[in-house]
Structure 1
Amino acid sequence: MNPIMLTTTEIADAAIREIVQLSLSAAPFDLFLDQLLVPGDAWFRWVAQLGQIRETRTALSGLFGRFVARAYLTKYCGFGYFEPIRADLQALAGWPSLTIRKNDTGDLPDWMTATVAGANAYAVAEAKGSHNTQGVEAALGAAKKQVGRIDIMSGTASLTTKRYALATRWSVHGRPDLDKPYLYVDDPDEGDRDPTPKETRHVARSIALGHYATLAEGFGLPGTAAALMSAKRSAPGNLALPRRELTLLSMGDKSRGPTLCAAIVPNGVVPIPGDGDIDAFRNGLLAVYGERTAILAVGEEDILNVDRLEYPTFEADQVVAPGSFWNRRRIHIDGSELAPLRDTVIKRETVP
């Protein structure tokens, strides 16, 4: 078996985007992770099981399993766009004739995901987390079934799709039967026919727009989220974002221009207020949370480029040191940027 090297900050960076996209109210970011892990241990080993009762343990295990799987898919497979799969499969449809079909009963997989550089690959993925002392086979088997329950359709044809089933078996301090953590990955290609290059580009565009739409929803920007979901089903190049939901942002000596953004604090996501004194909002966050306050933002132009099928290549950080979640500015491979709030200047977009 090959060791997987992931820092707590890389997992926290995956967690922050997952939490925003799922509109969760709690945020187990870098500090929280460090509190849960055995200090000084090179292995990803919990101090104790995640929760004392079965329901809590199952929920937290599944959530942290998503964080680890997403960090793995980003770092080792190059996936940067993650569109959560929800019950309304029609919302996942894309232009010109892309649809998502459920082919079996049971729970749906977690994500549709696409690579960023050239947007030349896409996949469906399901993550599981487990404390099973007998191994990861049961969790991996469930993930394999789940990830096969949808097909990406172009007209009446099921497009060949890589299907990632990822199962993490946790390690717990003081438990010889849970001594080492494991991440197992199964990734077959399944479908009726290979997509054409044009179909691949349009599938990736649809996933990327869905990725940004769920970020906007988690940022508290409903008009932007609706515009992005509508663009998925429209011809490329026609996206227009609501000006009143954009924020002018400068980070250090760099202007990001109009952005979608929100504040990140240890216990959640705080939307940028549409009214009131924005400087008082910023200063209030710094007064309450101090250095543990950041801004997560993605530029309007980056989103418009994706809609136009002009995929940029972002200079994302390749190695992120542990312990730097709150105090290091960094760019993710989807173009989103996290920066300490103290280093940012926030202004509202002027609406004519």
Structure 2
Amino acid sequence: MAQSAELRRAYSGLYGRFAARALLTAHLGIGRFISLKREGIEVPKSISVKRISKGDIPDWLAWDDRAQQHVLCEAKGSLTANDFLAAGQPKCVKEGKDQFLRVHCTDPNGPVYPARWVAASRWSTDRRSGQAASLLWDPPTDHEPVSEEISRNHREAITRAWLDSLAPGLGWRDANELLADQRAASAITVRAEPGEIPDEEDWPEVGDMPLAKVSAAQARSTEMEKVITRVVSTLSSDDVYREDWVSAGRPPEPKALEAQYLSALVTPYGVRPIRGASDVDELRTAQDRAQRREQPAMLVGIPLGLDPAARLSDALWMDGGGIARTGDLAVFDLRRIEIDAHGISLA
């Protein structure tokens, strides 16, 4: 991932967190991740997570809408560990579990006990080969089901806290500004057609570091599915992973996606909120550059009209054009989508 040890650690931590969140969302439906920062976090009218001892604490507070409870999550990873596929638990998982003991959680009614998941990755590279593996590890917790009303209140509170964390990157101060009715005047309409990105459109390599991710066709290859199945079978005889994810791959989407988003442009030079005419001009310029394969560019956005209290949807659109889930953050490859800024004044 980089030449120096400092950058290798930095990139490993960055990508490890992406991978951990993807695993937790794809397999368990967990969402609304909020960083716990150094001392914890307080979600107004909901849960408070506070540090109670020295040492690292978990990475995130999140929400499991299926179980209707909060979740503490920790990302771990290693390039050199040889205990991922051995009997017992990897050392980094034990370290992650210990971090859960360094926080105390309460809500307005007293102590609460969120679920506690460690998502760990064992990396493999061309130079340091080995069996790549990912683990999801769930230490047991005491959990009593709550009423739908209480669950709805917690869901809305953590969704607003999640939107508070995203709003500045989209050009707004907080969730209240992001959710205001007048935001419709700043929305971008996105249309994404089904279909993978052809191999000939992969980003060219720069030195030894390719800019492109593995193509969707490669990721769905038979050999990749064999590796995933072998790793899962080695780790556990229980049905931990969704069977369809392991054995079948994901077929192309049957129809196009069209929706409105409050969005931001992401390029190698940074993040630019899309709010006015000059932003739209830059968005179209970036799209032209991306389509000529001169500069990678993505569009990220929150769907217009998001309801913080609504149940988290399993409806996922995922193809070459991007990834979008109802009521959740969406990411699009700017090369593969049509954009319409009819709501933004271009005068």
TM range (shorter): 0.5 to 0.7
**Partner Cα separation in structure 2 for residue 245 and residue 216 of structure 1:** 15
**Partner Cα separation in structure 1 for residue 140 and residue 268 of structure 2:** 39
Is residue 104 of structure 2 the alignment partner of residue 102 of structure 1?
no
The change in CA–CA distance for 1:58 and 1:332 in structure 2 (over 3 A counts) is: same
Counterpart among 271, 274, 281 of residue 273 in structure 2: 271
**Which residue pairs with 2:123 in the alignment?**
170
Counterpart among 294, 297, 310 of residue 293 in structure 1: 297
Encode CA deviations 1:313-333: one digit per residue, 9 max, x unaligned.
35213xx46xx2xxx144225
Correspondence list, 1:59-98, <5 A: 59-87=10-38, 89-90=40-41, 92-95=42-45, 98=47
The change in CA–CA distance for 1:276 and 1:174 in structure 2 (over 3 A counts) is: closer
Amino acid at match of 2:339: T
Q: CA offset at residue 268 of structure 1? A: 4.3
**Partner Cα separation in structure 2 for residue 185 and residue 76 of structure 1:** 9
**Which residue pairs with 2:68 in the alignment?**
120
Contact conserved, 1:66 with 1:127, CA < 8 A, in 2?
A: yes
Q: CA offset at residue 215 of structure 1? A: 2.0
**Counterpart of 2:32 in 1: which secondary structure?**
strand
Q: CA offset at residue 282 of structure 1? A: 2.6
Correspondence list, 1:219-258, <5 A: 219-221=170-172, 223-225=173-175, 227=176, 241=180, 243=182, 247-252=186-191, 256-257=259-260
Amino acid at match of 2:190: M
Counterpart among 139, 144, 147 of residue 194 in structure 1: 144
In structure 1, list runs of 5 or more residues that go unmatched: 1-49, 229-238
**Partner Cα separation in structure 2 for residue 311 and residue 288 of structure 1:** 38
Q: CA offset at residue 164 of structure 1? A: 0.7
Contact conserved, 2:62 with 2:72, CA < 8 A, in 1?
A: yes
**Partner Cα separation in structure 1 for residue 40 and residue 185 of structure 2:** 28
**Partner Cα separation in structure 2 for residue 346 and residue 263 of structure 1:** 13
**Which residue pairs with 1:234 in the alignment?**
none
**Counterpart of 2:283 in 1: which secondary structure?**
helix
What CA RMSD, in Å, does the superposition of the two structures yield over aligned residues?
3.2
Amino acid at match of 1:310: A
**Partner Cα separation in structure 2 for residue 244 and residue 78 of structure 1:** 28
**Which residue pairs with 1:315 in the alignment?**
315
**Partner Cα separation in structure 2 for residue 89 and residue 159 of structure 1:** 15
Q: CA offset at residue 189 of structure 1? A: 3.3
Is residue 88 of structure 2 the alignment partner of residue 139 of structure 1?
no
Encode CA deviations 1:25-78: one digit per residue, 9 max, x unaligned.
xxxxxxxxxxxxxxxxxxxxxxxxx33433222222222211111111111101
Correspondence list, 1:18-29, <5 A: none
Q: CA offset at residue 338 of structure 1? A: 3.3
Q: Which has the larger radius of gyration?
A: 2
- The two structures have a TM-score, normalised by structure 2, of 0.66
Amino acid at match of 1:262: A
**Partner Cα separation in structure 1 for residue 11 and residue 21 of structure 2:** 15
Contact conserved, 2:48 with 2:105, CA < 8 A, in 1?
A: yes
**Counterpart of 1:270 in 2: which secondary structure?**
strand
Higher-RCO chain (CA-CA 8 Å, sequence separation at least 6): 1
Is residue 112 of structure 2 the alignment partner of residue 159 of structure 1?
yes
The change in CA–CA distance for 1:66 and 1:240 in structure 2 (over 3 A counts) is: closer
**Which residue pairs with 2:246 in the alignment?**
none
In structure 2, list runs of 5 or more residues that go unmatched: 85-89, 192-255
**Which residue pairs with 2:331 in the alignment?**
338
* Count of aligned pairs between the two proteins: 270
Contact conserved, 2:272 with 2:279, CA < 8 A, in 1?
A: no
**Partner Cα separation in structure 1 for residue 24 and residue 326 of structure 2:** 12
**Partner Cα separation in structure 1 for residue 184 and residue 5 of structure 2:** 41
**Partner Cα separation in structure 2 for residue 332 and residue 310 of structure 1:** 13
**Partner Cα separation in structure 2 for residue 312 and residue 140 of structure 1:** 28
**Partner Cα separation in structure 1 for residue 127 and residue 333 of structure 2:** 37
Contact conserved, 1:243 with 1:349, CA < 8 A, in 2?
A: no
Encode CA deviations 1:248-277: one digit per residue, 9 max, x unaligned.
2222397745x42112335643322x4553
Encode CA deviations 1:273-304: one digit per residue, 9 max, x unaligned.
x45534422322123333643322222421xx
More displaced 10-residue stretch of structure 1: 70-79 or 338-347:
338-347
Amino acid at match of 1:129: G
Amino acid at match of 2:120: A
The change in CA–CA distance for 1:334 and 1:103 in structure 2 (over 3 A counts) is: farther
The change in CA–CA distance for 1:215 and 1:245 in structure 2 (over 3 A counts) is: farther
**Partner Cα separation in structure 1 for residue 44 and residue 67 of structure 2:** 15
